[in-house]
Amino acid sequence: CDNQGQADRLAWLLEEQAGLIHIEVGVFHEGFVFPEAKVFLLNDHEVFSRYRRRRRTRKFRKGVALPGITALARGDFIVHVDHGIGRYRGIETLEIDGIKRDCLLLHYRENDKLYVPVGQLDRVRKYTGDEGVAPMLSKLGGAGWERIKARAKKAAVQIAKDLLELYAERQARPGYAFPPDGPRQTEMEAAFIYEETPDQLTATRDVKKDLERPVPMDRLICGDVGYGKTEVAIRAAFKVVSDGKQVAVLVPTTILAQQHYITFTERLADFPVEVDVLSRFRTPKEQRDILERLKRGKIDIVIGTHRLISKDVEFKELGLVVVDEEQRFGVKHKERLKRFRRMVDVLTMTATPIPRTLHMSLSGARDMSVITTPPHGRQPIHTEILLFDEDKIAEAILREVDRGGQVYFVHNRVQSIDSMAAFLEELLPQVRFSVAHGQMSERELERVMLHFLDKRIDCLISTMIIESGLDIPNVNTMIINRADRFGLSQLYQLRGRVGRSNLSAFAYLIIPPWRSLNQTARKRLRAIEEFTHLGSGFKVAMRDLEIRGAGNILGTEQHGFVMAVGFDLYCRLLEESVRELKGEAPEAEVPEPKIDISVSAFIPRAYISEEAQRVSFYQRLAEAKKLVDVWEIEAEMKDRYGAPPDEVRSLLEVAYVKQSARVLRAATVKIAGPVLLVGFPEERELSRAEVETWVSSASEPLRFAFDGAPSIEVMLGAGDDLGRLEQARGVLQELTGEEQAKSLPRGDKSPRYVSKAQ
């Protein structure tokens, strides 16, 4: 056996043969017979006829970091923390008193202009809101933006207060502490035939830790369909059942209830756990029988729709409620769920992605586990744009059906969906087609979806209702008709319905002639076609989905405030509110030193021609927090673009000086001719020990002034502006200590990387 849990399980199963069979822990691919030694060796996977398939992890292209402005294009909306929402119009190089500097040009209402020095890019964020909805531009100089920010902050405080009150109430109310895992739990988990992802294991640990505390759990697990949330829930449910308590699994639709019932039953078939489902597919007599058995404690895990939270449903001893896709329940049902949250452990699952920024903002107010790692062996989705072509459509459908798979054909117009079905049936009479759309009766829709789930339908012709549908690994081809009419996030989520197994998946986007499409539709289609790989960073479409996910957690009433200030700023306000209400001191911000150095410091077009890349480097330099951050940026520039010209070297030197000044808690750094002047805030008191340390570490004489605000004056040697800037950097690094210089990577042997002034 490859683990002790499985070895213990086999020993228990084969205890009657104890003298004949020896069980050892070890890993080998397959068994063998050694007749001379009278040995017959089998591994546990051969005994149970299933194999744990370990696959080489794919290397995927890294994605675009979207929270900042690295993906900024001219015309995009941006949010300046102090001035509000404007529109980005490009980078302009301004020359003032012979000194050249790059600035971002932002346009505001009434054609007002704002030039933002590249050193202040940490104050700017790309505006993210609903896809396709343009925000209102702010007016420069007015009080309007501050009022909008204040309203958003008030709303953030309220939502933080509500979450913290519920959190505090749960912490104060005594709950049931489940014991640590026993041998049976280990055995059940060892029987999982797939390899867990790191996120799955982390989420499982989080849930178990919550269950073992004497406080009611209220944890949210976020992860796309097929990413392993259900296995986490099954392990939690088994832990609860093993301690003699019952589990209720609440889902929004009868079809999902049926799918979960199949999954739970198959997964726990080898264990003494009674699983049942309460749904409309049960006769009234069967429903009454289930309710009676629940009351007597004869059912361990019950799965059902909102019927489970009806007043006539009684449990003998309910220990855990698992809620799948809570946002799809009605207001009344959500109110009833709040009752459970105060009494028993609640585990909520959602397939709508939750942004990391929101996850961090709610730290300490809502327990969350996020599963972002795709399962091992998941294949990229081959995506192709096509004109409407009968032969290619027929070929795509037949290729999938012939390999035993199923197909989604998305046609998002109810008026003509039956005509499309008739056309496809005539084109491929040997294929079993059926139609599904939102205007069908719920019972009829469920019947069709169950037939599809049972593989009685080869190709399902449907509207967008499958966007957040079932996890059906057998569906690995999708054809989207008139893909030009869909939004980017809709296309992304639709395409995510396929490619859920280890088979290659295909998505075909059918469009009218390319020349008839507008520019926006073309860009959208090119983007979805380009990003076919898992983890390739298709964050643009994800952003809209994440905002939907944020709405599910925060409530729809917060949506307007998110749109008013942009998603990232709202998350920042929310994080501040949570900290304030918890009585935590706000993070002490190191004051930004003012660098007054008359030198041209910018990135010329001749060095980096792409404007987006220049903006990216400027932003990273503005947001750098340590010397090593600046070093990494410089190393990347040299690697990608070669030796930097003097203007870029000056820009980097200014960044190094700024980092050292922050460590010293200096207010200003100024170079005037051969003199370096370091000024401190008036409230900053220089201790005797500090002064003595600086004097002993400096290679040049230091002159201190203590009248008013303290300052240090250093005479620099001869040289041009860049040379003196490099000397100033050396002096400041001496004052901050050798540690910073030592912390820099060793790749660059340039004399500028030592802490002695040159």
166-212 pLDDT tens trace: 777 777 777 789 999 999 999 999 888 788 889 999 999 999 999 99
**3-state SS assignment for residue 57:** coil
Residue 239 contacts residue 185 (beta carbons within 8 Å): yes
- 166/343 Cα distance (integer angstroms): 12
Residue 544 clears pLDDT 60, i.e. is over it: no
Contact 361, 575 (CB under 8 A): yes
292 three-class SS = helix
Query: DSSP secondary-structure letter at 304?
Result: E
CA nearest neighbour of 558 among 127, 76, 67, 129: 129
**pLDDT at residue 308, as a whole number:** 86
pLDDT of residue 70: 44
DSSP 367-433: EEEEE-PPPTTPPPEEEEEEE--HHHHHHHHHHHHHTT-EEEEE---HHHHHHHHHHHHHH-TTS-E
Residues counted in the chain: 758
For residue 63, the model assigns a pLDDT of 32
**pLDDT value at position 288?**
92
Return the DSSP state at 652: H
pLDDT for the residue 351: 73
Residue 679: phi, psi to the nearest 5?
-105, 145
Domain 176-371 and domain 381-533 have a common topology: yes
Q: At what angle do helices 519-530 and 539-554 cross, to 10 degrees?
A: 90
Whose structure tokens read 């003097």? Answer: 646
- CA–CA distance, 458 with 714 (Å, rounded to integer): 80
Q: How far is CA 598 from CA 100, 288, 595, 671, in A?
A: 9, 84, 9, 8
* d(C-alpha 241, C-alpha 234), whole Å: 10
Contacts of 501 (CB under 8 A, 6+ apart): 379, 473, 474, 476
Q: What is the pLDDT of residue 51?
A: 46
What does the block give as tokens for 470? 């079932």
Q: Please list the residues that pair with 596 across neighbouring strands.
A: 670
Pairwise CA distance, residues 309 & 329, whole Å: 12
Q: What is the pLDDT of residue 697?
A: 84
Angle, CA of 391, 392 and 394, to the nearest 5°: 65
| pLDDT, tens digit, 9 for 90 and up, residues 105-152 | 999 988 899 998 888 887 888 887 765 677 889 998 878 899 998 988
- Per residue in 213-228, pLDDT (tens digit) is 998 888 888 877 678 8
With residues binned 3-state (H G I as helix, E B as strand, rest as coil), the percentages for the chain, rounded to 5, are 45, 20, 40
Which CB contacts under 8 angstroms, 24+ apart, belong to 691-695?
694/735
Q: Taking the CB of residue 425, how many other CB atoms lie within 10 A of it?
A: 14
Query: Of 214-228, 474-488, 587-601, 715-729, which range is least confident?
Result: 587-601
Instruction: Identify which of 158, 152, 66, 161 has the alpha carbon closest to the alpha carbon of residue 572.
Output: 152
Q: What is the pLDDT of residue 16?
A: 63
By percentage, how much of the chain surpasses pLDDT 70?
Answer: 80
**Structure token pair of residue 589:** 């911000």
DSSP state of 514: G
Closest Cα to residue 257, out of 328, 320, 174, 311? 328
- SS3 state at 275: strand
Beta bridge partners of 505: 381
Phi/psi at 311 (5° precision)? -70, -25
Residue 195 phi/psi, 5-degree rounding, is -90, 125
pLDDT at 163 over 60: yes
Q: What is the pLDDT of residue 754?
A: 31
Residues 6+ apart with CB under 8 A from 98: none
The CATH number, out of the four listed (2.40.10.170, 1.10.357.10, 3.40.50.150, 2.60.40.1290), of the domain defined by the range 77-163 = 2.40.10.170
Average pLDDT over every residue of 629-633: 90
Does residue 574 have a pLDDT over 70?
Answer: yes
More confident: 587 or 539: 587
Whether residue 79 contacts residue 566, with contact meaning beta carbons closer than 8 Å, is answered with yes
Q: 623 to each of 272, 521, 633, how far by Cα in Å?
A: 56, 34, 11
- Spatial CB neighbours of 601, under 8 Å, sequence gap ≥ 6: 101, 647, 650, 651, 653, 654
pLDDT in tens, 63-119: 333 334 445 778 888 899 899 999 999 888 888 878 888 888 999 988 899 998 888
What sign does the CA torsion over 456, 458, 461, 464 have?
positive
Average pLDDT over residues 603-615: 87
pLDDT at 66: 34
- Please state which of the ranges 52-61, 607-616, 698-707, 734-743 shows the lowest mean pLDDT: 52-61
Q: Of 56, 7, 3, whose CA–CA distance to 27 is shortest?
A: 3
pTM of the model: 0.62
Distances (CA, A) of 159 to 550, 551, 576: 12, 12, 12
Which position has the higher pLDDT, 229 or 684? Answer: 229
CA 591 vs CA 124, 415, 598: distances in Å: 18, 62, 22
Q: Does domain 594-753 have CATH number 3.90.1150.50?
A: yes
> What kind of fold does domain 176-371 have according to CATH?
Rossmann fold (3.40.50)
Report the SS3 class of residue 153. Answer: helix
- Name which of 513, 488, 613, 623 is nearest 132 in CA terms: 488
What average pLDDT does the segment 419-431 reach?
A: 96
State the Cα–Cα distance between residues 436 and 439, nearest whole angstrom: 9
CA distance 55 to 262: 27
Helix H or strand E segment including 277? strand 275-278
As a whole number of angstroms, the distance between CA 251 and CA 92 comes to 55
Residue 143 CB: number of other CB atoms within 10 A?
9
The residue ranges of DSSP E strands in 69-217, in sequence order, are: 77-80, 84-96, 99-107, 113-117, 124-126
CA distance 689 to 693: 6
Instruction: Tell which CATH classification among 1.10.4080.10, 3.90.1150.10, 3.30.540.10, 3.40.50.300 matches the domain 381-533.
Output: 3.40.50.300
pLDDT at 55: 39
Contact call for residues 247 and 320 (beta carbons, < 8 A):
yes
pLDDT at res. 313: 87
d(CA 491, CA 85): 28
Continuous segment of H or E residues that includes residue 186: helix 183-190
What mean pLDDT comes out for the span 247-272? Answer: 89
Nearest CA among 730, 734, 732, 736 for reference residue 750 = 730
- Residue 698 neighbours by CB distance under 10 Å: 18
Helix, coil or strand: residue 246: strand
Top mean pLDDT of 44-58, 658-672, 736-750 is at 658-672
Q: How far apart are CA 636 and CA 629, in angstroms?
A: 11
Sequence ranges of the domains in the chain = 4-47, 77-163, 176-371, 381-533, 594-753
Whether the Cβ atoms of residue 570 and residue 560 lie closer than 8 Å to each other? no
Find out whether 570 and 151 touch, Cβ atoms under 8 Å.
Answer: no
Give the chain's mean pLDDT. Answer: 80
Over range 499-521, report the average pLDDT.
83
Of the listed ranges 38-52, 226-240, 241-255, 467-481, the one predicted with least confidence: 38-52
Q: Which carries the bigger pLDDT value, residue 44 or residue 55?
A: 44
Q: In Å, how far are 2, 181, 241, 247 from 5, measured between CA atoms?
A: 9, 12, 19, 24
